[in-house]
């Protein structure tokens, strides 16, 4: 695996963690619907990594990216749906 790709992966993890940790908890639910697109890109990148995996490290990182991306997409849609349920009129 190219060391540049590993560096980009580590840098993306650090930047993503810093960005998410700075968001106030009050804004997490409304922002979840917007970040579903970002999670979809992560999922797509993981699938591309798996398709081009030439080493066990690349295969492992691609698999982890696909699992985490799918979990984030699913969780994001669940939170968004739950948020939208709060705004529906009760019968």
* 3-class DSSP assignment, residue 47: helix
Higher pLDDT, 58 or 29: 58
Quote the distance between the C-alpha of residue 38 and its chain's center.
Answer: 6
State the distance between the two ends of the chain, measured CA to CA, in whole angstroms: 57
Q: For residues 22 and 69, is the Cβ–Cβ distance under 8 A? A: no
- Domains of the chain, residue spans: 26-91
Condensed to tens digits (0 to 9), the pLDDT of residues 28-39 reads: 666 766 677 777
**Least reliable range by pLDDT among 42-51, 61-70, 80-89:** 80-89
pLDDT band at residue 45 under the 50/70/90 scheme: confident
CA Rg value for the chain = 16
């Amino acid at each position: 695996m190219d060391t540049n790709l590993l560096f980009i992966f580590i840098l993306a993890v650090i930047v993503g963690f810093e960005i998410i940790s700075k968001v106030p908890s009050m804004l997490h639910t409304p922002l979840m619907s917007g970040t579903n697109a970002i999670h979809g890109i992560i999922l797509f990148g993981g699938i591309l990594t798996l398709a081009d995996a030439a080493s066990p490290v690349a295969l492992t990182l691609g698999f982890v990216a696909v699992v985490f991306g799918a979990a984030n997409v699913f969780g994001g849609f669940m939170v968004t749906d739950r948020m939208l349920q709060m705004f529906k009129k009760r019968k």
